[in-house]
Amino acid sequence: GSGDYGAYGYLPGGCGGKQMLQIGFPPSDPSVTAVGGTTLNATAQFKYKSESAWIDSGGGASSYFAKPSSQVGPGAPKNTKRDIPDIAFDADGNTGQYTYYEGVWYSGSGTSYGGPNMAGYWALVLEALKGKRTGNVAPVFYKLGASTSYKTDLHDVTTGSNGAGIGPGYKATKNWDFTTGWGSINGTKALSYFK
Report pLDDT digits (tens) over 126-175. Answer: 888 776 777 788 888 888 888 776 677 788 999 999 887 777 889 999 99
| Per-residue pLDDT at 176 | 95
pLDDT reported for residue 190: 65
Q: CA triplet 39, 78, 80: central angle to 5 degrees?
A: 100
User: What pLDDT, in 10s, does the model give residues 67-111?
Assistant: 999 999 999 999 999 999 999 988 888 886 777 778 988 777 777
Q: Report pLDDT digits (tens) over 2-40.
A: 666 667 765 555 444 456 677 777 888 899 899 999 998
Residue 151 in 3-state DSSP?
A: helix
d(CA 66, CA 75): 18
